[in-house]
Chain A
Amino acid sequence: MSSLRDQAYLKTRVGIFAGRLLTPESVERYKSMSLNQLAEAFDLLPIIEETLEPRQKSRLIEQALLHRMMSELSVLLRPLSGRTRGLMLYWPRKFELYNLKTLIRGKLNDLGMEEIRDNLHDLPENIRLPHESLLQAENVLEMLRQLDQGPYAMIARQARHVYEEQNESFSLDAAIDRLYYTGMLRHINMANSIDKRGLHKVIGIMIDRQNILWLLRYRLVYRFSPSEAYYLLISAGGRIQRDTLMELANLEGLQAIIGHLPAPLRQILGEANNITQVRQRLDHHVSDELQKLMRHSQDAVVSALSYMIARDMDLMRLYAIIQGKLLQMDPALIDQAIPDNALTDSSGVNV
C-alpha cells in the first residue's frame, strides 16, 4: 500500500477503532457489571438463556468476540492489496493454527468428531483450514497422513513423533507457534511497507512475550534442560535475540533469568515473584508498546497491525470477564485472570 489516500483511510479507521481499546476505567466498569448487563452490552443475550449449556455459552461468547474482531479486520483490509494485504491476512492465521492444535490434540486424545468440532473457531473462509476432511479422519494415523499431503507436513511429522513416542505435545505446540511466527516474519520481509522496522518491532514484541513466558515454564515448571527449552523457543525475537535467548536458557531460577533480560524488560519484570506476575507485567508492557507503535508509526499498516494485536488481547480480557461471570467465579479470581494492563490513558489517540 503506497498511496496517500489509502494511508489516510487506514489511519483514520485505526484512529476510530482505537477508541474501542480498553481503558482501566472500562475494565473496572465491565468487572462491576452483572452477566445480564454484559450480555446486553456485547449483544450476547442467548448466554443468559437457561436452555443453553455452559459450554455452548462459552463458545457463543468466544465466537461473538472473534466475529467482532474479524469484522474490524475486514474494514482495515479494504484499502490493502498485494503483499501488505497478505501480511494483514496472515495475522489471524493464528486462529487457524489454534484450530490445527485443537484438531491434532483432539485426535491424539481420541475425542469424537463433534466434540472436536465444538472446540474449533469459526473462521472466515479465506483463512480457514479444510477442517472437514481432517475431522472426518477416523483415527490419528489417517489424520496425520492427510496433514502429510498439505502445507503442514512438518507439523504432521512432529505430531507423528508425539503420537508414536507418547510424548507431551510441547514440541508440537512449539512447532506450530514457530511455523506461525516465521510465516509472519516472512510476510513482513515481503511486505511493501514504509516502516518495515516498525513491523519487525510489532512482531518482535509478540515473540519476546511468547519466549519469556515459555522459557520460564519449560525451565522452572517442566524442568526441561537448557538445550530442550531453547530448542522449543523462537530465536528471532525483538529485544531478546538469539545469543541472549541462549544465555537465558542456560540460567537457573526466576530471578536469574529476569536479571539477565535486556532493558527495559529487566526493570519491568524486576519485582515479579512468579510466572503469573510475569505474564501480567508482560501483557501490560506489550499493550503499552503496541499502542505507542499504533500512534507513532509513519506507516498505517504498522498502526493497523498493532491495533489488531492489542484488540485481540483486549477481547481475551473481555472473554475472561464474561466467562468468569458466567461461571460465577470469585471476583478475586477474575482479577487474577485479567491483569490491569490497559493503558492509563487511551484518550486523544493520535494515529
Chain B
Amino acid sequence: MFSPLPIKHISLQVLTDDLPSASLILAELSCFSPDPRPYAEQALPEVPGHSFRHLYNQARTRLEKIVSQVDFELTSDNHEAGPINEEELERVNEWLGTAWETCSGFEEASRIHLEERRNIDQLESSLANFRNLNIDLGQLQGSAGFLETHIGMVPRSQVNQLSDALGLDGYLLFPFMESESDTHVVIVGAGDRETSKLKPVLDTAGFRALDIPPELQAEPEAAKTQLDQRRDAVEVESQKLAEAIHAWGKVSRQELEQAAHTVHLATPYVALGEAARHRGDLSRLQGWVPNEDIALVERSLHEKLSNPFVIETRDPTPDERPLVPSVMRHNRLLSPFSALVTQYGVPRYGEVNPTHLFALTYILMFGMMFGDVGHGAVILGATLLLRRKLGTFTAFGIAAGLSSILFGFLYGSIFGYEHVLHALWIAPLTNPLYMLTVALLWGIGFITIVTLLNIINHLLQGDRLGALFADNGLLSLLLYLGLLGTGYSFYSTGSISGFWATLTILTLIGIFAHKLIEQEASIGERILVAFIETFEAITGYVSNTLSFLRVAAFSLNHVALAIAVFTLANMMGDTGHWITVVLGNVFILVLEGLIVAIQVLRLEFYEGFSRFYSGDGKAFKPLTL
C-alpha cells in the first residue's frame, strides 16, 4: 500500500508457434510488462515476428488513415478473441491496402474539390476587381496583335523573383490583388501567346492562369452566373463524393470491423518487441509480473496453451532494482492524487509511494488555506455537476470541497461572512500569531515525516550509510531537531539548552566530516565544498520550514480579501452591494482557489517530495488489449 507492489521477473519458454497465443493471454490479464533487455543472444539469436511487425505497422497505419476518412467506430464485442497468425494479418493488410486505395481516391477528389472552390473564389475576387477598371478586358484574353498578356496567380513569395525573371525576356508583371497565399498578376509583353517563350518559366513558377469569360464586359451578370454554376457543380460533386464515401463505409463496415479487430488482437505480439527471442521452434519471453498475479498468470497459461511450456519466476536482483517497473494500484478515490504524484515522477521500485501522504496532506492544507463553508460547497457542487467531464478527478474536487467546508466550520466563515457561523476552532484574523504558529508546527511535522520517509527509502534500498549520512538522512534530521530545540529553548527561556546545542554541534560535525570524506578533490576544495553544503543543509531546513507560513498566510488572506469585498460592497447601494458581494466571491473563489491549489502543490513537491522522493522509477506498462 505504501510502496509499489512486490514484483517478480518471469521467463516463459514456449513453442514459437505459441508466442502469439501467449502474448494474447498475457495481454488479457494486463499484468505482464515486457522486459526488453538483451538476453541469451547466443542461444536464442533471433527476435521473432520481424515480418509480422512490418505487416502490423502497415496495416495499422492503413486502418488509421481509413478511419479518418470514414465515419467508423470499432465495436469488437461480437468478435472472437484468438491469436492472429501472419497469414491472417497479411490477408487483412492486403484488404486494407485495397480499401485505402479507394479512400485515397476519395481524399484526392476531396482535395480537388477544395482546390476548385478556392479557384472559383479567387476568380470571383479577380473579376470583381476588374469590373471596377475602365479597360477592355477582351484585350487581356490572349494575343492582341503584337501584345501578349497573361492573367493569373502566382505564390506571393515568388512574385518579385518572377517579375525580375520575366523582365529578362522583356515582359512586365503587374500585381493587382493579393489573397492569402497568392498574388493576382497581369503579365504583358511583346510577343504571341501561341508561341510564347514564357511557358517554361511560368510553369516553373507555379503560375495559374485565370480564365476570364469574354462576356464580362458586355454581361457582367453572365460571368457571375457562370461562376455560380461552376460552384454549384462543385457542390454537387462534393455531395456525390460524400454519399460515395458513406456508401463505401456502409458496405465495407463489416470487413473494416474485422480488420480493426485483427489489428487489435495482433498488438500484444508486436508489443513484445525484443522481450521475446527464439531459435527455431523454441521461444522465450521475459518480463515483470506483480507477485499477487503470478498464480493467475500460471493458471491462465495452463488453461489456454495446449502445448507444454516452462515458466520460471525470481525476485529482482539488487542490480536490477532501478530497472524494475513500479506497479501502483489505488482505488478510484486516490487515482487523481496518484496522477498528480506521477506528474512529479514514478516511484522507484521499493521506494515509498507517497500517494497516501500526498492525498491526506494536500487536502488538509487546501482546507486550511481556503477554509470557507460557502466556497467549499460551491467547489463540491461544481465538481458534482461536472463529474462526467472531470472523470477520475471528481474525487479530487469533492475532497477539496469537503475539506474547505470542514475548515469553513472550524473558522466560522461562509462566503467571507465571519459572523454568521460560530467558529468551532478559531477565526483566523482574531489571532494571526496563533495561526502562524500552527502553520509552523505543521511544517515542522511535515518536514520531519518526509525526512523519516527518506531514511526509510535508503534502508529499503539497503543503503545504510545513505540513511545515516546522505542529505535528509538521520544526521540531517537530528540536526534539524537540534536547531529547532536550540531555537525553542532560547525563545522560551532566554538561554540555550545544553542538550540541544550539543546535538546540533555534533550532528553538524558529523555532516561536515561525511561531506569532507565523500569528496574527491584537493583538501582545500573539499573543505570549501563541505562547508558550503553543510551551510546549505541548514539554510534549506530553515527556509523550507518558513515556507509553511504560507499555509496560515493564505487563511488570513482569504479573510482579508473578503473584508475588501465587503468594504467595496458597503460603498454601494442595495443592488450594487449584492452584485459586488457575488462578483467578489466569484473572484475569491476562482483566483484565490487556483492560487491556493498551486501553492499547496508547490509545498508538496518542493518542500516535501524533493526531500525523499526520487521519482525516477519506471512505470509499469503491461501488455493490454
Contact = CB atoms under 8 A, between A and B. Distances in A.
Bound together: yes
Interface of A: 136, 138-139, 141-142, 145, 148, 153-154, 157-158, 161, 165, 167, 170-171, 174, 182, 224-228, 230-232, 235, 242, 246, 249-250
Nearest to B205: A231
Nearest to B114: A148
B168 A142 contact: no
A165 B197 CA distance: 17
A242 B155 CA distance: 20
A138 B168 contact: no
Interface of B: 58, 61-62, 97, 100-101, 104, 107-108, 111, 155, 157, 160-162, 164-169, 181, 197-198, 200-201, 203-206
Contacts of A136: 58, 61
B168 A249 contact: yes
Contacts of A138: 62, 97, 100-101, 104
Contacts of A170: 204
B165 A227 contact: yes
Given A136-B61, A157-B206, A230 B168 contact: yes
B168 A226 contact: yes
A256 to B, nearest CB: 15
Contact of B107 (A145, A153, A161, A226): A145
Contacts of A235: 160-161, 164
B108 A226 contact: no
B155 A224 contact: no
B157 A154 contact: yes
- For the complex of A and B, the 5 pairs showing the least CB-CB separation, nearest first, are A231-B165, A171-B204, A227-B165, A226-B168, A228-B201
Contacts of A174: 204
A171 B200 CA distance: 10
Contacts of A226: 168-169
Contacts of A225: 169, 197, 200-201
Nearest to B61: A136
A227 B107 contact: no
Given A141-B108, A145-B107, A246 B205 contact: no
A157 B167 CA distance: 24
A28 to B, nearest CB: 43
A250 B107 CA distance: 44
Contacts of B58: 136
A32 B155 CA distance: 51
B204 A141 contact: no
The A interface is mostly helix, strand or loop, or mixed, namely helix
Contact of B204 (A145, A148, A232): A232
A239 B582 CA distance: 70
A170 B203 CA distance: 12
16 contacts: A138-B100, A141-B104, A142-B107, A153-B181, A161-B206, A165-B203, A225-B169, A228-B165, A228-B200, A228-B204, A230-B164, A231-B165, A231-B201, A232-B204, A235-B164, A246-B168
A139 B164 contact: no
Contacts of A227: 165-169, 198, 201
B103 to A, nearest CB: 10
Nearest to A179: B157
Given A138-B100, A142-B104, A231-B162, A224 B168 contact: no
Contacts of A242: 164
A136 B166 CA distance: 40
A113 to B, nearest CB: 9
Nearest to B60: A136
A227 B200 CA distance: 9
Nearest to B170: A227
Contacts of A182: 157
Given A136-B61, A138-B104, A230 B165 contact: yes
A246 B162 CA distance: 12
A145 B108 contact: yes
A139 B157 CA distance: 28
A10 to B, nearest CB: 27
A11 to B, nearest CB: 28
Nearest to A154: B155
Contacts of B107: 142, 145
A268 B204 CA distance: 32
A246 B201 contact: no
A159 B201 CA distance: 15
Contacts of A230: 161, 164-165, 168
Given A139-B104, A165-B203, A246-B168, 10 more contacts: A138-B104, A141-B108, A182-B157, A227-B167, A227-B169, A228-B200, A231-B165, A232-B204, A246-B164, A246-B167
Nearest to B204: A171
B92 to A, nearest CB: 16
Nearest to B110: A145
Contacts of B61: 136
A55 B157 CA distance: 39
Nearest to A242: B164
B65 to A, nearest CB: 8
A222 B448 CA distance: 80
Nearest to B207: A161
Contact of A231 (B101, B181, B204): B204
Most chain-B Cβ atoms within 10 A of its Cβ — which of A142, A157, A246?
A142
A134 B161 CA distance: 30
A138 B107 CA distance: 13
A136 B93 CA distance: 14
A340 to B, nearest CB: 36
A153 B182 CA distance: 13
Nearest to B160: A235
Nearest to A132: B61
A318 to B, nearest CB: 33
Nearest to A158: B206
A170 to B, nearest CB: 8
A246 B97 CA distance: 50
Given A161-B206, A225-B169, A231 B161 contact: yes
B68 to A, nearest CB: 12
Nearest to B62: A138
B206 to A, nearest CB: 6
Given A142-B107, A145-B108, A154-B157, A161 B165 contact: no
A29 to B, nearest CB: 39
Nearest to B166: A227
A103 to B, nearest CB: 16
A74 to B, nearest CB: 24
